[in-house]
Amino acid sequence: MAGNRGVAYVRPGEVEVQDIGYPDLVLHDGPGVNPLNVGRKCNHGVILKVVTTNICGSDQHMVRGRTTAPSGLILGHEITGEVIEVGSDVEFIKKGDLVSVPFNIACGRCPSCRRQDTHICENVNPDRSGSAYGYVDMGGWVGGQSEYVMVPYADFQLLKFPDKDKAMEKILDLTMLSDIFPTGYHGAVSAGVKTGSTVYVAGAGPVGLAAAHSAQLLGASVVIVGDMIEERLAQARSFGCETINLRAHDNVGEQIEQILGIPEVDCAIDAVGFEASGHGEGAVEAPATVLNTVMDITKAGGKLGIPGLYVTGDPGAVEADAKEGTLRIRLGLGWAKAHTFVTGQTPVMKYHRDLMKSILSGKAQIAKAVNATLISLDEAPSGYKEFDGGASKKFVIDPHGLVRN
């Protein structure tokens, strides 16, 4: 039987590539696996040979020690791969198919899935609705930053690329369909972006850049991106965004007024989440900063898309309440301005097929927008370190050298 290697979280600030078990169609006990999920049979699943798997900012929260993730957890929820084994209950997905895996694990049978709310599937995580690969408190499904991975509910979940050769030509774009492109797009849709909209995007990491590109695709007239790292802001400017350096300026409204002539936008997107920092030189972590800022600078009646991650447990929080996910949010401000808030995981399956077509037609240039950067599996630990240091790159792991050939 073939071996398998994967990227494991070891301790805060450290990941390593380890020999791990070759997957089969059963969810076995292991780090982070919910006891109620141990032994779960997945004849509805497939085994994938991983073609690409990406490092996500959500992974970094765990690697920084900002969650309760256990040592040994195999990371990775952004997966694209070739089907090499199919379960006995799989009818439509075939060996040899090249597929994108939504990061949400969804059964396709529960009321939430039937409503297309696949981000809150009721059957895959015994603790709460919603699940994902390689992530803390998400049921314990093994992550895909590896050579091979098991994916359940294959017929329902997997997005098959219609032409493998053409797909491989655009694989650095298509690999973003598992998470950050739909997540950024969902942020823009949730914020109500439409033709002519003025949009503020908080955060120029990969999700923020994906949200900015998505806002452009939806017809925004001006997209303004705020971040504290100049390299990331330069990346946003490379595809036509206006930018605000939040380390140099602590008043976002004033900066928006310099760009638009008024100190507010039609809608805003929070692509930062719970590790937010205050603004200005010497600012420190202040987790409610982004939410309060976007309420302040979004017009009355506007919508706020919040794809940035917020957690119920943050052992590294700077505030006691924030350790339980309680933040000092000015909800009264949002109430007074009649804002709409849309939060939670992105229901990837609502968007990934249409976004695939946008990529294959050449309309969407998501790999360019997020600066997709190819690395090997063995280079993953250094990729994590570089990404954590603020590099404006979306690291794409190529476990088998299939993209480089």
- Decide if pLDDT at 276 tops 60: yes
- Decide if pLDDT at 312 tops 90: no
CATH of the domain at 300: 3.40.50.720
Whether 128 and 168 share a structural domain: yes
262 located within any domain: yes
- Decide if pLDDT at 1 tops 70: no
Q: Average pLDDT of 8-22?
A: 96
Whether 325 and 187 share a structural domain: yes
25 located within any domain: yes
405 located within any domain: no
Average pLDDT, the chain: 96
Choose the final residue of a domain: 296, 326, 342. 342
Whether 13 and 87 share a structural domain: yes
Whether 230 and 379 share a structural domain: no
The boundaries of the domain holding residue 130 are 5-179+346-397
E strands along 29-173, which residues? 40-41, 46-54, 79-86, 98-101, 148-151, 159-160
Whether 282 and 185 share a structural domain: yes
Q: H or E element: which one contains 156?
A: helix 154-157
Indicate whether this model's pTM tops 0.85.
yes
Query: Is the dihedral angle over the CA atoms 246, 247, 248, 249 positive or is it negative?
Result: positive
Both structure tokens of 325: 């996910």
The pair phi, psi for residue 354, each rounded to 5°, is -65, -40
What is the per-residue pLDDT across 87-106, written as a single tens digit (0 to 9) for each? 999 999 999 999 999 999 99
What is the per-residue pLDDT across 341-397, written as a single tens digit (0 to 9) for each? 999 999 999 999 999 999 999 999 999 999 999 999 999 999 999 999 999 999 999
Q: Average pLDDT of 280-308?
A: 95
263 located within any domain: yes
Choose the final residue of a domain: 342, 359, 381. 342
Q: Are 185 and 161 in contact (CB under 8 A)?
A: no
Whether 163 and 32 share a structural domain: yes
Whether 235 and 205 share a structural domain: yes
Choose the final residue of a domain: 298, 321, 342. 342
403 located within any domain: no
Whether 374 and 269 share a structural domain: no
CATH of the domain at 122: 3.90.180.10
Please report which confidence band the pLDDT of residue 59 belongs to, taking 50, 70 and 90 as the band edges.
very high
- Quote the pLDDT of residue 197: 98
What is the per-residue pLDDT across 322-343, written as a single tens digit (0 to 9) for each? 888 889 999 999 999 999 999 9
- Quote the pLDDT of residue 300: 98
Both structure tokens of 399: 């476990």
Whether 162 and 24 share a structural domain: yes
Whether 375 and 244 share a structural domain: no
Residue with tokens 């992974």: 59
236 located within any domain: yes
Whether 227 and 116 share a structural domain: no
**Spatial CA neighbour of 270 closest among 322, 310, 234:** 310
3 state DSSP class of 30: coil
378-380-381-384 Cα dihedral, nearest 10 degrees: 170
Count how many domains the chain has: 2
Percent of the chain's residues with pLDDT above 90: 90
Residue with tokens 């994906």: 210
221 located within any domain: yes
What is the per-residue pLDDT across 135-177, written as a single tens digit (0 to 9) for each? 999 999 999 999 999 999 999 999 999 999 999 999 999 999 9
Whether 19 and 157 share a structural domain: yes
404 located within any domain: no
